[in-house]
Structure 1
């Protein structure tokens, strides 16, 4: 079994989402010692944001600028890592109500027509990446749960749930640590709760 571990936080060792995603990966590894883990750190080694030059390079082939071709090749590697994985664990902090741009760049390389989705004869999208399990570790500075006044500002969990549903992934779990900027005690409580929730993760 292969697990892809993706992190997007720019905060390094101070990152809550990285702490929780690492705990999730450790749980899976404890459950299945033979687990093969592939690591992708989107802050340490960002994927180039998709541009018109990247799309043009796909048509130009070897005539495209070398730098753009190299960025497309890295994007293709990111896609293949996702396709090869049985389990995907993602550390996704909320930045200004949405996902970090580094994570959005990764999503743009994973949602590829003909690879992870296609459009049927009726024009409706058909997901091609079903059968995977995705676990997302989310950190939020404030409180954005469904029962809070700020619920309408939450665009990480809702966005990623839609992204994976679009490509056919329905087995998606969220480990949420929120209120991490509301004070030291609330931060610790949020981390403890989210990390504690990893005990329910089973390899099979």
Structure 2
């Protein structure tokens, strides 16, 4: 039994490499192939980012719904009590001062987060920005500050961990959205750096 030697490339008369399929691997071809690979990576990244943004929008909407339920609730107790009912030994939960006002503030924070998740050229975001003279959506440092007020007050008043966790929900959501967008930004920067490193054919 003889072993057939596989020759992956041969060369044409002008010095360009040719693979087994007859494809000429000249400089222009290499540049085109690299461009196609980068474009596929960018398309995949954009699709994944769109799905991720949709998931975050759903989480923001769910959190807004919980805050709306809290506002119309007469007890003004943490919705987490449904999942973790207080026992007889648990200290009674008191209502946070200005609870409805804080809930409205958190809904406002969520509205800004939802707009932050929209692409810069999206018409809803553009309308939101133009109608607010460019002030909205608020920057993340401001959103972090607004979302921190209620949980800090709850901690200072020594509320139960259920109350503190509830009032920290907007702060947690702000961090999740911020981290997600920061991850997307880093991925886009990596693709941009990859584009700078792509092969450029002579004379192209």
Structure 2 length-normalised TM: 0.25
Structure 1 length-normalised TM: 0.25
Give the greater-gyration-radius structure (CA).
Answer: 2
Which of the pair is proportionally richer in strand? 1
Which of the pair is proportionally richer in helix? 2
